[in-house]
Amino acid sequence: MKQRNYYKAFLRPFLFQLPAETAHNIALWGLSAMAHLPNQSIFFRDLFKIPEIPTECFGLHFPNPVGLAAGMDKWASALPVWESLGFGFSEIGGVTQHEQPGNSGPRMFRVRSHQAIINRMGFNNPGADLFAEQLEEWVERSLWPSHPVGINLGKSRVTDLEKAPSDYLYSFQKLRKYGDFFVVNVSSPNTAGLRSLQEKSALSRILEAIMLANTGSLRRPVLVKVSPDLDESELADILQVSFEFGISGIVATNTTSSRPTLHKRPPAATYSENGGLSGAPLELRSNQVIRFLYKESNGKMPIIGVGGIRDLKSAMEKFRNGASLIQIYTGLVYEGPMLIIKILNGMVEYMKREGISDLRELHPKI
């Protein structure tokens, strides 16, 4: 029997009457409150009946390959609840060395005609020191999730571009004992000059600083998050630098500055807002980048695919193009938490039907 999506039927109509950022903050406040409840993990797992699809990637065990993308939980205020909702891993942040409020509002917009969101948040976050205190609180309360937790690292707005390596390094060292893996975000379109750090020499300096410190018992997988707006030569440069410094994987992709359209119906007026576009219009370009990176690396660089996942079909396309893991953000806003369970159940059914044990068996032939 088909399960009713109570989020879409009742909660979403209310939230979508509110400005996008207000709705986001209300939803996150509710999830944060749930995260503090005793036995909330058991309650949600019994309610959703979360299937397992064990996946090994860059030396970590994932109960399933569907994760929460960065940007949803910038303060780690709801950290324990993401596992309870069915995610196989969560990526929190982005976090910068210095606390910063981000860009002035309004700075988040829905494009309902395209199941998309445009944001120009600007790395609003509490800074690495306060972020570490929040993470320590979850540890002390024995509420730390058992699934892998990634931490997304950005550059502080007040830090000059030439001093970016020390900014990233500070946050990495401050948070290293908490994160299971780290994502170097040099691809957000909402911090002036940040995307220039994807250039070969600039990225090399950042990765060199981090990897020189990434030794000993607290050595962590480090990944790089790339922009969908790069061309193939730029993506190839990032792969070369990543292999040179022993990077464990690539997150593809961040939001786009372009405005692709999905159909003949004109998009909502908000489509002209400045900022990074996420959601359904990003799917095609995200898949193209994933396929290029997979083939260019001969399948040797694990990829986390993100961009436009809103149902089982769009999730499976990420694996067919070369992703080993996937992440969701905008799809969660439009479809609610049942999206995770629907995707996981669909994956399990597909794997049984096709007789495969790992979704990476769908990767393109090289």
256 falls within a domain: yes
* Residue 142 φ/ψ region, left for φ over 0, alpha for ψ in the -120 to 50 degree band, beta for the rest: left
Has residue 306 got a pLDDT over 90? yes
Give the model's pLDDT for residue 1: 45
Lowest-pLDDT range of 2-16, 82-96, 221-235: 2-16
CA distance 280 to 61: 29
Residue range 135-140: average pLDDT?
Answer: 97
Residue range 138-153: average pLDDT?
Answer: 96
pLDDT 10s digits, 227-249: 999 999 999 999 999 999 999 99
Considering the chain, what is the average pLDDT of its residues? Answer: 94
Share of the chain above pLDDT 70, in %: 97
307 falls within a domain: yes
Give the model's pLDDT for residue 42: 66
pLDDT 10s digits, 16-68: 999 999 999 999 999 999 998 877 766 666 677 889 999 999 999 999 999 99
349 falls within a domain: yes
CA distance 178 to 95: 13
Residue range 210-226: average pLDDT?
Answer: 97
Neighbour count for residue 81 (Cβ, 10 Å): 27
CA distance 24 to 303: 28
46 falls within a domain: yes
Bridge partners (DSSP) listed for residue 91: 150
CA distance 331 to 114: 11
The 3-state secondary structure of the chain reads: CCCCCHHHHHHHHHHCCCCHHHHHHHHHHHHHHHHCCCCHHHHHHHHHCCCCCCEEECCEEECCCEEECCCCCCCCCCHHHHHHCCCCEEEEEEECCCCECCCCCCCEEEEHHHCEEEECCCCCECCHHHHHHHHHHHHHCCCCCCCCEEEEECCCCCCCHHHHHHHHHHHHHHHCCCCCEEEEECCCCCCCCHHHHHCHHHHHHHHHHHHHHCCHHHCCCEEEEECCCCCHHHHHHHHHHHHHCCCCEEEECCCECCCCCCCCCCCCHHHHCCCEEEEHHHHHHHHHHHHHHHHHCCCCCCEEEECCCCCHHHHHHHHHHCCCEEEECHHHHHHCCHHHHHHHHHHHHHHHHHCCCCHHHHCCCC
Domain count within the chain: 1
Reading the block at residue 205, the tokens are: 């300096």
Angle, in degrees to the nearest 10, between helices 283-296 and 232-244: 50
114 falls within a domain: yes
Domain, as residue range, for 245: 6-360
Q: Is the dihedral of CA 358, 56, 363, 336 positive or negative?
A: positive
Residues acting as catalytic residues: 188
89 falls within a domain: yes
Has residue 334 got a pLDDT over 60? yes
Has residue 102 got a pLDDT over 70? yes
245 falls within a domain: yes
Q: Are 213 and 153 in contact (CB under 8 A)?
A: no
365 falls within a domain: no
Has residue 2 got a pLDDT over 70? no
Give the model's pLDDT for residue 4: 73
Residue range 270-275: average pLDDT?
Answer: 92
Residue range 142-156: average pLDDT?
Answer: 96
Has residue 10 got a pLDDT over 80? yes
Share of the chain above pLDDT 90, in %: 88
Q: What is the CATH number of the domain that holds 117?
A: 3.20.20.70
